[in-house]
Structure 1
Amino acid sequence: MSATSAAPSQAKRRFAPLFLAGPATLLFIGLVLLPLALTVILSFNSYNYDTGIENTFTLHNYTQVLQDDYYLSIFWRTLRLALITTVIAVVIGVPEAYILSNMRSPWRSIFLLVIIGPLLVSVVVRTFGWSMILGRNGFINGALTTVGLEPVQLLYTETAIVIGLVHIMLPFMVIPVWTVLQKLDPTVEAAALTLGASRFTALRRIVFPQAMLGILSGSLIVFALSASSFAIPGLLGGRRLKMAATVVYDEFMIELNWPLGAAIAIIVLVANLIIMIAYNRMIEGQAKRKLG
C-alpha cells in the first residue's frame, strides 16, 4: 500500500471517535448545556412588574432568595424530604434487591417486572392514586373509621409527599443495587457461611461493602429526582406546602418573574451538586477502604 493511500485511512481512524461522538455531543449541548447557560444568564437580569424583564445585570435575585426566610425554609424542606426519601429508599430497596438477586427463574423475572412495572404508568396518575388513598375519605381513613378510630390528616402533609416520593423512586434504588449484586460471586458468601459466619456477618462484611457502589448510584439518583420533583409535591403537598420545584413553577408561570425563578433553580442545582459530590466522595472513600 502506498503512503498516499495509507494517510487518508489513518486520518479516518483518528477522527472516527469524533464523528461517532459528535451527534451525541451536539444533542447534549443543545438540550442541556445551552438551556442551563441561558438560565444562568436570565437569573442575573432584573425584573420590573411594570415593564417585565430588563436587560440589566443584578445580583438582587440571589440576595433576595438567600436573605428571605420564606425561600430558605422551602430549600430546607426540599433537602430534608429528599434526604428522608433517600434513606427510606435505601432501607427498603437494598433488602429488596438482595432478595431479588437470590431468586430463581421464573420468579426473578416476575418480581423484576413488578418492580419496573409502575415506571410504565404516568407519575401524575400514580400520584392521583395516592391522593385518593390518603384523602379525607380515602382508603386509610375509611379503615380507621371502620375500626372506630378518628380520621387523620394525611393528604397535603409532608408525610404524604414522602410516601409518594418513596413509591415513585424505589425502582431507581432497587435496579442499581440489583445490577451490582448480579456481578458478585455467590460462592464467596457461601464460603463465609461454611466457615462459621452468621448470615448477618456475611451480609455486613462481604455483600454490603461490595454493593456500596450500587447503593451510591441509586441514592444519588433518588436524592436528585426527589429534590427536583414537581408533580408529587404539587398534588400531595397542595399549594401551601411548597418545595423548590413548585416555587420555580409559580415564579415562572404565575408571578411571571422569570429571573427570580431562574435564580431559585440555579441555587437548588448548585446545592444538589455540592451535596451529591460530597456524598459521592464519602461513600467511595469508605468502599475503597473496605475493599482495599
Structure 2
Amino acid sequence: MTSRKGALPWLLAGPNLLLFTVMVIVPLILTVMLSFRVYDYSTGIGDSLTLDNYLKVITDPYYLGIFWRTLKIAAITTAICALIGMPEAYILSRMREPWRSIFLLVILGPLLVSVVVRAFGWSMLLGPTGLVNAALQLLGLGPIRLLYTETAIVIALVHVMLPFMVIPVWTALQKLDPMVEAAARTLGASRFTSFRRIVMPQATIGILSGSLIVFGLSASAFAIPGLLGGRRLKMAATLVYDEYLQELNWPLGATIAIVVLVANLAIMVTYNRIVESRAKRALG
C-alpha cells in the first residue's frame, strides 16, 4: 500500500514530465551541443567542436551592444509595467461587481489579439503619418521619428506585457483584508502611510512574480522588435533569427540563444532572491 501511494505522484506527473522533457529539455540539450560545432560558409556545419562561437559572442562589441539593448529594453518595460500595473491592480482589487469583471475584461482583452496584429497597429500609430504624429503636429510639436526606435519597441511591449503584471499583483492583493487598511486609517495613519506599510508589502510578492514574467518575455520578444525595430535596431531574438535563416550559421545562432538564456536566468534568479528576502523581512 505504501509503495502504491509513493508511486501515485510519479504516475500523475509522468505525462507532464515526459512532455516537458521532449519539448524543452531535449531541444535545449541539442541547442547546447550545436553551439559548440564549427561552421564554414563553404562546407556548412562541421563535426569538430570549438569554443570560438562563445568567444566571438562575448568579445565582439556588435553582439555585446545587442545584448545590452535587449536587457535595457526588457528592464525599462518591466519598470513601466510595474508603475502602471500596481495602481491598476490596486483599483481592481477594490472594485465591486459588475465593474470588476468589466475592468478585468479590459485588461485581458488585448491578449485575445495576436501580437503580430498589435505590432502592426502600433506601426501605423507611430509611423510618420500615423495618429500620434498627426496629434503632435496639431499641438505644434512637429513630426517626431518614433517608428524603428527603442521608444516604439518599449511602447508596444508595455501594451503587450501589462496584463502579465496586473494579474499577479491583483492575485496577491486578494489575500489582503480591506478592513486592515481601514483600521490603520482609523488609528491615525495617513492614506500614503497605510498604503506603504500595509498594501505594498503584500503587493511585493505579486510585483516580483509579474516582473519576472514581464522581463523574461520582453527579453525574448521577437515579433515586436522585428516589426517596430526594423532591420538595424536588432534585439537578441531577431539576431538569432538572422543567424539561423539568413546567414545559415546555426552554431552561432545557438550560441547567441544560450548566452541570452544564461544571462536572463542569472538576472532573474538574482532579482528573485533580492526582492524575496525584502518581502520576507517586510512581512515578518
TM-score (norm 1): 0.96
The letter of the residue matching 2:97 is S
Identity %: 70
Are residue 118 (structure 1) and residue 110 (structure 2) matched? yes
Equivalent in 203, 206, 215 of residue 214 of structure 1: 206
Are residue 276 (structure 1) and residue 265 (structure 2) matched? no
Are residue 155 (structure 1) and residue 152 (structure 2) matched? no
* Dislocated runs of 4+, deviation >6 Å: none
The letter of the residue matching 1:170 is L
The letter of the residue matching 1:263 is T
- For residue 235 of structure 1, report the CA deviation from its aligned partner: 0.5
Q: Secondary structure at the match of 1:211?
A: helix
Q: Which residue of 1 aligns with 2:130?
A: 138
Q: Secondary structure at the match of 1:256?
A: coil
- For residue 145 of structure 1, report the CA deviation from its aligned partner: 2.3
- For residue 61 of structure 1, report the CA deviation from its aligned partner: 0.3
The letter of the residue matching 1:273 is L
Number of aligned positions between the proteins: 284
Q: Deviations over 1:238-270 (max 9, x none)?
A: 000000000000000100000000000000000
Over alpha carbons, which structure has the higher Rg? Answer: 1
Matches within 5 A, 1:17-36: 17-36=9-28
Q: Which residue of 1 aligns with 2:181?
A: 189
- For residue 85 of structure 1, report the CA deviation from its aligned partner: 0.4
Alpha-carbon distance in structure 2 between the residues aligned to 1:257 and 1:165:
29
The letter of the residue matching 1:85 is T
Q: Which residue of 2 aligns with 1:6?
A: none
Q: Secondary structure at the match of 1:233?
A: helix
Alpha-carbon distance in structure 2 between the residues aligned to 1:90 and 1:203:
16
Q: Secondary structure at the match of 2:198?
A: helix
- For residue 55 of structure 1, report the CA deviation from its aligned partner: 1.4
Are residue 39 (structure 1) and residue 31 (structure 2) matched? yes
Are residue 89 (structure 1) and residue 81 (structure 2) matched? yes
- For residue 224 of structure 1, report the CA deviation from its aligned partner: 0.3
Q: Which residue of 2 aligns with 1:265?
A: 257
Alpha-carbon distance in structure 2 between the residues aligned to 1:233 and 1:225:
12
- For residue 214 of structure 1, report the CA deviation from its aligned partner: 0.5
Q: Which residue of 1 aligns with 2:91?
A: 99
- For residue 144 of structure 1, report the CA deviation from its aligned partner: 2.1
Q: Secondary structure at the match of 2:42?
A: coil
- For residue 10 of structure 1, report the CA deviation from its aligned partner: 4.1
Structure 1 unmatched runs, 5+: 1-8
Alpha-carbon distance in structure 2 between the residues aligned to 1:147 and 1:213:
42
TM-score (norm 2): 0.98
Structure 2 unmatched runs, 5+: none
- For residue 182 of structure 1, report the CA deviation from its aligned partner: 0.8
Alpha-carbon distance in structure 1 between the residues aligned to 2:197 and 2:79:
21
Are residue 176 (structure 1) and residue 149 (structure 2) matched? no
Q: Which residue of 2 aligns with 1:225?
A: 217
Q: Which residue of 1 aligns with 2:248?
A: 256
Alpha-carbon distance in structure 2 between the residues aligned to 1:41 and 1:200:
54
Alpha-carbon distance in structure 2 between the residues aligned to 1:146 and 1:98:
35
Q: Secondary structure at the match of 1:175?
A: helix
